[in-house]
């Protein structure tokens, strides 16, 4: 187990078990995505507990086991260390709490705990429930530029990993697989991935709520922020 000194000093191994929180009626919500996620209440704060799960075809062989390549290579530890680095730098990310892995001979499984960001919606949720203002699109563009300026490559940048509160507060979440890189074309690839995600939303409940003026507003703010 690895805990962040500022927010995870009292974490114990049972905190990574959903049953521990269910027995205390402390599970606030549960969701399934690329990983399985629970929002739990611990004292006066709420935390997000995420279990690492595989996606794609390989998930048919193993849902949550990964090949053991050493402690430093485990995804929970890598994500927690990166989160701590970004949070200390003032980037808009959830505060890191703790991470753990369980060794299973030649494989491992793992979990991570981060602070819950209250009164937020994902960009996908906001689009599904109504329109998103140009002020918000500009705020998203500026935020993404801040991450790219320090070399943070989010490998799964999409409308579900951008959190919003009000018209101009933004956060980026779920840094599983993310890394710090030198400047390169990966920045454009990140933005293209986000664009594809937004276009997919237009085929569902958010139909017609994402358009070219909004995307150009995001890009304009991104470029302005990158130039500073």
Catalytic residues: 156
Element (H, E) at 196: helix 186-201
DSSP state, residue 177: T
CA angle 17, 98, 182 (to 5 degrees): 130
Tokens linked to 87: 């949070």
Task: Please list, in sequence order, all residues whose beta carbon lies within 8 angstroms of the beta carbon of residue 165, skipping any fewer than 6 positions away.
Answer: 117, 119, 120, 121
CA distance 209 to 228: 30
Task: Please list, in sequence order, all residues whose beta carbon lies within 8 angstroms of the beta carbon of residue 150, skipping any fewer than 6 positions away.
Answer: 86, 89, 91, 180
């Amino acid at each position: 187990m690895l805990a962040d000194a500022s927010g995870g000093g009292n974490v114990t191994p049972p905190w990574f078990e959903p049953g521990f929180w269910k027995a205390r009626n402390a599970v606030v919500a549960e969701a399934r995505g690329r990983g399985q996620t629970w929002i739990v209440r611990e004292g006066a704060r709420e935390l997000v507990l995420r279990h690492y799960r595989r996606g794609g075809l390989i998930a048919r062989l193993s849902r949550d086991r990964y090949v053991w390549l050493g402690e430093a290579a485990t995804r929970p530890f890598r994500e927690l260390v990166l989160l701590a680095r970004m949070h200390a730098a003032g980037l808009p990310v959830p505060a890191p709490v703790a991470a753990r892995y369980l060794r299973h001979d030649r494989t491992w499984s793992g979990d991570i705990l981060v602070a819950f960001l209250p009164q937020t919606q994902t960009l996908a949720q906001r689009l599904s429930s109504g329109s998103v203002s140009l002020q918000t699109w500009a705020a998203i563009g500026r935020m993404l530029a801040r991450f790219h300026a320090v070399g943070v490559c989010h490998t799964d940048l999409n409308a579900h990993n951008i959190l919003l509160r009000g018209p101009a507060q933004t956060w980026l979440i779920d840094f599983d697989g993310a890394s710090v890189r030198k400047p390169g074309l990966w920045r454009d690839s990140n933005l293209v991935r986000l664009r594809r995600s937004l276009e997919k939303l237009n085929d569902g409940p958010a139909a017609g709520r994402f358009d070219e003026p909004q995307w150009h507003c995001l890009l304009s703010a991104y470029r302005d922020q990158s130039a500073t």
